[in-house]
Structure formats: C-alpha cells, structure tokens
Amino acid sequence: MQRLALGELLFSNGDRHVCAEDLHAEACDAQVSVSLATVYNTLNQFKAAGLLREIAVEGERSYFDTNTSDHFHFFDCSKGGGKGELMDIEIDGVTVSGIPPIPTGKAVDRIDVIIRLKNAV
C-alpha cells in the first residue's frame, strides 16, 4: 500500500525530479505513514524496473527523474535552500563531442550531462 501511495505522489503530476527526503516529506503531508528507508527502497525498486532514472548531483545527493527518455540537465545550485533545482534540457540540438575511445568489448549506454548554474554576479 505504501509503494502505491508513493507511486501516486511521484507519477500523478507529470515529469519531475525528486530526492528521497522531499518525497518523504510529501508523503507525510499527504498523511501516508512511511519511513524514509521505505521511500529509498521504493525509489530504488522503481529505478530497477526502469520507471525512474537516478541523477547523482552533489556527493551523496541523488535526484530521481520520472522522465526516463534521453535528455540532459541544468542544476541550479542557487535554488532550493541549498539543495538546488534540477531542470531538463531537451537533447535536440545538443552535441557531445570529444568522447574518448571506448574500451574494447564495451558500448556507450548513455551520456549524462549536467550543466551547473549559479546566480550571475
């Protein structure tokens, strides 16, 4: 029941980026009784099932993206009370060049690009 409630919170309002702590707070606000550990486990299960994409942004901070299509991200370090804000960049018109030779027997799975933003001086 908890996983269904978390899934409803995650997927009911279109594509979004969420960290486990924020989803836990949303669940509490929605009066869903769930531990932070269950939120982490559920997010990782959804990721393993291909429903979410994990984006590691700052050391131990990861965001989970409901948009699993190929795309890149802006990360605004100046937003969100020190947590930052992750925003999608459509892949159309973006070119990644200068990729080093791929080791023998390997293939590129995907390329993740995060452009970090800050307030202009």
Q: Are the C-beta atoms of residues 46 and 23 closer than 8 Å to each other? A: no
pLDDT, tens digit, 9 for 90 and up, residues 47-99: 999 999 999 887 778 899 999 998 999 999 887 556 788 999 988 878 888 99
The predicted pLDDT at position 45 comes to 96
Q: Alpha helix (H) ranges present in 1-121?
A: 2-11, 20-29, 36-48
Domain carrying residue 94: 2-117
The predicted pLDDT at position 80 comes to 58
What residues contact 70, with CB distance under 8 A and at least 6 apart? 91, 110
Task: Domain count for the chain, please give it.
Answer: 1
**The domain spanning residue 25 has which CATH number?**
1.10.10.10
> What's this model's pTM, rounded to 2 decimal places?
0.85
pLDDT at 17 over 90: yes
Burial of 46 (0-12, 13-18, 19+ CB in 10 A): buried
Radius of gyration for the chain, computed over Cα atoms and rounded to the nearest angstrom: 16
